[in-house]
Amino acid sequence: MQGHRPRKRFGQNFLADPHYVARIVEAIGPQPGDNVVEIGPGLAALTGALIERAGRIAAVEIDRDLAARLRERFTADRLALHEADALAFDFSTLGERLRIVGNLPYNISSPLLFHLASFAACLRDIHVMLQREVVARMTAVPGTPDYGRLTVMLQTRFRVSRLFTVPAGAFRPAPKVESAVARLIPLREDRPRIVDEALFARVVAAAFGQRRKTLRNALSTLVDETSLRAAGIDPAARGETLSVDDFVRLANHAAASAGFNSSR
């Protein structure tokens, strides 16, 4: 680990297998001039390869010791390093058509994906390595056990695909789970129109909050039965049976309902 002790609080598992480094970089296909941004470059297994292909990249690193190492290894004209927490970082400050790359810590993967989704307008694509089970949830379809809040919230903003799995042995230290690489491409003009983003998020969260509840019960404080039926949704159905389009239609009907109070 090049003299660095991995910090559990940062969820550090460093990619160390050159074969998978090459596969990831090939999947991304960075070109000179691309606005590449790496989250958590760590020991720079991917960083050097990305710089070699793109010429210059930006990176966000929370670990001060690793940031110091990166500054020693790469000049500022090759690596624009931001020492910050990616969960709080304003990615819009890095320009347009960002190509986000990262081996994301398992302990913050979902919150970080939601954070990145808020910058979809300035993204070209995202390539991230995550716990395999998380990628299964990101790419799930209705009616399957993996389908849930993360699925719906991401698929309203991105086209999500799983590229390949990465075994635990490719990392140092080796995690107890397998990983997978996912690609997310913003939907842009194909993104469904959502009238009230905050309400949509609350409807989706409530629908999956208690999976055994029917939508009539799970959404009782947000959507009445009339709105459910008006949206073509069976009140006795459960959240995991609804498609992404169903959720959009339902939330839009609720937002348009007379007397809806978005603050309740």
SS (H, E, C) 184-201: EEECHHHCCCCCCHHHHH
Which domains are present in the chain?
A: 8-189 (3.40.50.150), 197-256 (1.10.8.100)
Q: What is the pLDDT of residue 8?
A: 45
Task: Identify the pLDDT of residue 84.
Answer: 96
Strand-strand pairing, 123-131 and 179-186: antiparallel
d(CA 152, CA 59): 28
Q: Is the predicted pLDDT of residue 5 greater than 80, yes or no?
A: no
Looking up tokens 């690793």, which residue turns up? 66
pLDDT (0 to 100) of residue 11: 45
Contact 206, 219 (CB under 8 A): yes
- In 3D, which of 83, 48, 86 has the Cα closest to residue 63? 83
Q: Please give the mean pLDDT across all residues of the chain.
A: 91
Which pLDDT band, with edges at 50, 70 and 90, does 61 fall under?
very high
Residues pairing with 82 in the sheet: 60
- What are the tens digits of pLDDT across the range 95-145? 999 999 998 888 889 999 999 999 999 999 999 999 999 999 999 999 999
pLDDT at 1: 45
Task: Please report the pLDDT score of residue 211 as a whole number.
Answer: 81
Q: What is the pLDDT of residues 211-257, one digit of tens each?
A: 889 999 999 999 989 889 999 999 999 999 999 999 999 999 999 88
Beta bridge partners of 35: 98
- Which pLDDT value is given to residue 145? 94
